[in-house]
Structure 1
C-alpha cells in the first residue's frame, strides 16, 4: 500500500514515533564534507518540521497535533539569532506535555532554557539537559525546581563540569517533595533527600556525593521497583565500627542494570549487598588512577566471589557470543558485546578493574570461567607484555572453554606467539578457530608485522590439524606489511587487506608470491 493511502490515524502514529528525541540518527554521510548539520546529526525536531512541509494533508495533520510538537523541544537546534522559530515552536505545543533535551551552550539557548523552566515547568514531562557554562547560577535561577510537578517523569539535569552544582544547601526540598509521576532521576550536583516521597517510585536513579554507602542502602530498601542504578565516583562504602550492625543486604527483584564507578573496594562492597534480578547487567569501573592501590587478600577474595555471582547471574540468561578481554599489568577488562538482535537498552556485562601492577589480577578470569563460554564465537583478546604468564592456570582453564571460538581478534602479533607457548596439557584449544583478525592500535601503527611471530602460530595450527583459513589484516596499514611471501607455504589461507579504501584478497598457494610483497 502506498503511503498516500494510509489513514490519518496511522500517519499520526508514524509521525508520533518519529517525534522521539532519544533517537537521533547519524546522517552525516548524506552530506558533503564540511556541509553537514550541527554535529552531523538530525533531530526529531528537524524531521518533524520537514515532514510537515511534504504536502498540505500532512501539514494540516502535524500542525494540528500539539502532542507531537511538545515531544521535540531540542535545544541543540534552537540557537537561531532571532526568537521567531522558538516562539512558533512553543505556540505549536499548545498545552501539551513537553520533552526538553539538549546542550545549553551560549546565551541564546541559555535564556530560552531558563525561560522554559520559569514559564512551562508544570507541563515538562521529560528533561534531559547538560549545561556547559563555566559559572554557576544563583539559587534563584533554579527556583522552578523547588515547585511541585505532576507531569515530570524523567529528570536529567547536569553541568558538564563535575564540580559545578545546581542549588546549594542540604535542606532544599526538590520538587517541593511532590513529584508523583517521576520515574527516572539521573542528576548529580543537586541536593535532595533520600527520604523524599518520590524516591520509592523510581525505576532509574543516579547517585553521587554527598551520599555514602549506608545511606544509599537504607534508601534502596524502599525502592522495590528499581530497574537501574548508577553510583558515581567518590561514594564511600565503609564497614561501620565495632559493635555497629553490618551493612544490610537488599533484594531488588526488578533490577536489570547496575553501574558503579569508584574505588575498587566501594564497587565490590556495594555489589555484595545487592541481589538483583536474573540476568542483571553490571558495569564496574575502578580505573581512577588517583585511587589505585594494591588489593588486599580480603578484597581479592570478596571481589572474586561477588563478580563470579554476577557473571553467572548474567551469562545464564545472555549466553555470550562476542567478548572483549584485555589483560595488562594491574588491569583486567572484560566486556560482553551485544548481539545485533539485542536492543541497546539490554543489560550488559563490563568489568574494568585497575590495581597496582603487583596485584594478581588474573584471578578475575575465574569469575568468567564458571560461565557458559562454549557458545563464544568472537574474542577480542588484548594482552600486554608481562600481563600474564603462559602457564597461568586461570587463563589456560578459560581458553579451554572456548570450544566454539571462530574469530580471534588481536592488537599485536605477539599475542599469537603467547598463545602458542602456553602450557596445553590435553585437548586441542579452540578447535573451531578459522580466522585471525589483526586490528592495529594507534601505538603500533608504525610497527612492522613481524613474520617470526605469525609463522610459528600458523604452523602450530596446521600441526594440530586445525589450520587457520583466514588472516584478516583489513584494519592494518599495508605500509607496515613488508614481505609476506612466507604465507605462500600455507595453501588455502586467505589473506585480506585494505589499501586506500580498496579491499584486496589473496588465496595462498597460487604460486604468485609477488602479490604478497607490500
Structure 2
C-alpha cells in the first residue's frame, strides 16, 4: 500500500528549488528590493520592518552580505517605539549597522495611562513614553544625519524633549528632506518659536515636504519655495496662505487646515500651481471658498474639502 505524500516534504522541496533562483539575483537588484522594503511599513502590526530585514539577511550568504553592508537600509528604519522595546544589545546593533548613513526617524510619543477609569472616581496616572529619551539622544547627537523626521505627540510640555526640539530653529538641516510633526493637544494652544527665529536657520537645501501641526509661525524662510508638499500652519489666514504658496511653484500637495475665520475682502492676483495634484481643505466655509477663488491648480487636481461648521478663533499671522 502506497504511503500518503506529506505536505511538509513537498513544501521543503519547493523551498529548496526556489532558493537557487533567489540566491541568483544580481546584488544591485537585491539591494533595490531590500531598500524598498526598508522604506515601507509592515503589513503585519506584529512584525516590524526591521524583523523582515533581519529574516532576509538569514536566507543565504549573499543576502546577508548585501543586507549588513547596506547602512542606508538600516538608517531607513529608525522607529523610536521599536527601539524602546528592543534590548540594549539589539538597539545598539541596529544603530551600529546604520554606520554614518542618513536616518529616517519615526514614532509616536503619546504617553500611556494606568489606573481605574471605570470606577466612580477614576484614577489615571500618566506614564512617560520610553521612546522619549531615545528621540532626545538622536536629535542631540545625530541631527546632522536626519533625512526624514515623522513624529506624533500628545503634549508639548516643558522638559528635556521641549528643550531638545529647539534644535529645529537653532541649527540648519543640511540633508533633511521630509519633516512632519503632528500634535494631539489636550489644550489647543499653538506652538510658537522665538521672535525673529527662522526654522532650520533658513538653511534646509534638500527639504521637499514640511508639516508642523500647531505651529504658530508665518513660515518666512527661503526653503519654502522648493517644497513639493506643504501643510500650512493652523493659524494661517487666507491672505498669508496665498502669500506663502505664491512662492511655491513646485507644490504638488497642499493642506490648509485653518482654525481662523475669514471675513476680509481680498483683491489679489491668482496663484498658478501647475503641478498641484492634491488639495486638502479643512477650514471655515468662507476661508475655503476664498482660497479656491485665488488658486489655479493642475486640471487633474484632487480636491478634498471638509467643511467646518464652527471653528475656534485664533490670532492671524
Residues 1:64 and 1:81: Cα distance change in structure 2 (over 3 Å): closer
Match of 1:259 among 280, 284, 296: 280
Once the two structures are TM-superposed, the CA of residue 53 in structure 1 deviates from its matched residue by 2.7
Deviation at 1:203, TM superposition (A): 0.5
Number of equivalences: 273
Aligned position for 1:9: 28
* Other-structure match for 1:275: 296
Separation of aligned partners in 2, 1:192 and 1:164: 13
1:148 aligned residue: 172
C-alpha distance in 2 between matches for 1:216 and 1:224: 14
User: Which of 124, 127, 130 does residue 152 from structure 2 map onto?
Assistant: 130
Is the 2:83–2:91 Cα contact (8 Å) retained in structure 1?
A: yes
Q: Secondary structure at the match of 1:237?
A: coil
Q: Quick one: distance in 1 between partners of 2:276 and 2:156?
A: 36
Q: Do 1:213 and 1:238's aligned partners in 2 also have CA atoms closer than 8 Å?
A: no
Equivalent in 84, 88, 92 of residue 87 of structure 1: 92
* Unaligned residue ranges in structure 2 (runs of 5+): 1-19, 111-127, 312-317
Q: Distance in 1 between matches of 2:260 and 2:48?
A: 36
* 1:221 partnered with 2:246: yes
Q: Tell me the distance in 1 between the aligned counterparts of 2:32 and 2:256.
A: 37
Distance 2:31 2:287 in 1: 49
Q: For the structure 1 residues 97 and 81, does the alpha-carbon distance in structure 2 shift closer, same or farther, using more than 3 Å as the test? A: closer
Per the TM alignment, residue 166 of structure 1 is displaced from its structure 2 partner at its CA by 4.7
Q: CA deviation at 1:137?
A: 4.4
Tell me by how many angstroms 1:144 deviates: 1.8
1:65-104 pair list within 5 angstroms: 65-80=70-85, 82-104=87-109
| Helix, strand or coil at the partner of 1:175 | helix
Q: Which whole-Å CA distance do the structure 1 matches of 2:176 and 2:191 have between them?
A: 18
SS class of match (2:148): strand
Distance 1:83 1:171, change over 3 A: farther
Cα 1:156–1:261 change in 2 (3 A) is same
Aligned partners of 2:237 and 2:258 also within 8 Å = no
Residue of structure 2 equivalent to 1:492: none
User: Over the residues paired in the alignment, what is the CA RMSD in angstroms?
Assistant: 2.3
Deviation readout 1:68-125 (Å, 9 max, x if unpaired) = 1111112232222643222221111011011111212444211101111111111111
CA distance in structure 2 between the aligned counterparts of 1:258 and 1:108, rounded to whole angstroms: 36
- Does the Cα contact within 8 Å between 2:56 and 2:64 map onto a contact in 1? yes
Contact 1:96 1:123 in 2 (8 A): yes
Matches within 5 A, 1:466-505: none
Shift, 1:246, TM fit: 1.2
Deviations 1:125-166 (A, max 9, x none): 111111234745475321221201110000001222272655
Contact 2:209 2:230 in 1 (8 A): yes
Runs of 4+ in 1 over 6 A off after TM superposition: none
Q: 2:147·2:178 contact (CA, 8 Å) conserved in 1?
A: yes
1:290-369 paired onto structure 2 within 5 Å: 290-291=310-311
Q: 1:85 and 1:149, CA in 2 relative to 1: closer, same or farther beyond 3 A? A: same
Pairwise CA distance, 1:167:
5.0
Is 2:47 the counterpart of 1:42?
yes
- Give the Å deviation of 1:187: 1.2
> Do the aligned residues in 2 keep the contact of 1:136 with 1:164 (CA within 8 Å)?
no
The verdict on how the C-alpha distance between 1:59 and 1:141 changes in structure 2, with shifts beyond 3 A counting, is: same
Q: Is the 8 A contact 1:208 1:235 kept in 2?
A: no
1:228 to partner: Cα distance = 1.1
Q: Is the 8 A contact 1:256 1:277 kept in 2?
A: yes
2:41 matched residue in structure 1: 24
C-alpha distance in 2 between matches for 1:143 and 1:202: 22
Partner residue, 2:133? 111
User: Structure 1 length normalisation: TM-score?
Assistant: 0.49
Aligned residue among 62, 66, 70 for 1:61: 66
Greater RCO, CA 8 A, separation 6+? 2
Structure 1 unaligned residues grouped into runs of 5+: 28-39, 292-518
How has the CA–CA distance of structure 1 residues 86 and 235 changed in structure 2, closer, same or farther, with 3 Å as cutoff? farther
Which has the higher Rg, Structure 1 or Structure 2? 1
